Amino acid sequence: MHVEELHQLVLTALDDMKARDVTVLDVRGQTAITDYMIVASGTSDRHVKAIAETVAFRAKDAGETPLGSEGLAQGEWALVDLNGVVVHVMQAKVREFYHLERLWSVPPATSLAKASAE
């Protein structure tokens, strides 16, 4: 499955599970570990777990076995690693605290090093 198809599969699963505030981060120029990070919110620990489990199930059903998942037991922040797409599902308070969107919008370190050298 191409990464764009996987990306769309994840977005559909998130929509079907009523995930909130879905944000897609294209990180291809910032890291080699994945192409997209998708961040979404769930309304409770059960909702976060259900969203993450559904994403993993649908990916596996489409032939893309997740490389791993974390945080399903606690339900505050669940991560599903699909190689080309990494999905973070968080409760609102956790998402607000870590604010991954801001973290990945910072210019790469090489740009900062060049700026300080000038």
Domains in the chain with CATH codes: 3-117 (3.30.460.10)
* pLDDT tens, residue by residue, 21-56: 999 999 998 888 999 999 999 999 999 999 999 999
Question: Model-level pTM?
Answer: 0.86
Count CA within 13 A, CB hemisphere, residue 110.
3
In 1-118, at which residue ranges do the beta strands (DSSP E only) sit? Answer: 20-26, 36-42, 68-70, 77-81, 85-91
Note whether 78 and 70 are within 8 A (CB). yes
CA 37 to CA 100: how far, in whole Å?
9
Range of weakest confidence among 62-66, 83-87, 89-93, 104-108: 104-108
Q: What is the pLDDT of residue 101?
A: 82
Q: What is the pLDDT of residue 110?
A: 55
* Per-residue confidence band for 20, with pLDDT thresholds at 50, 70 and 90: very high
44: left (phi over 0), alpha (psi -120 to 50) or beta: beta
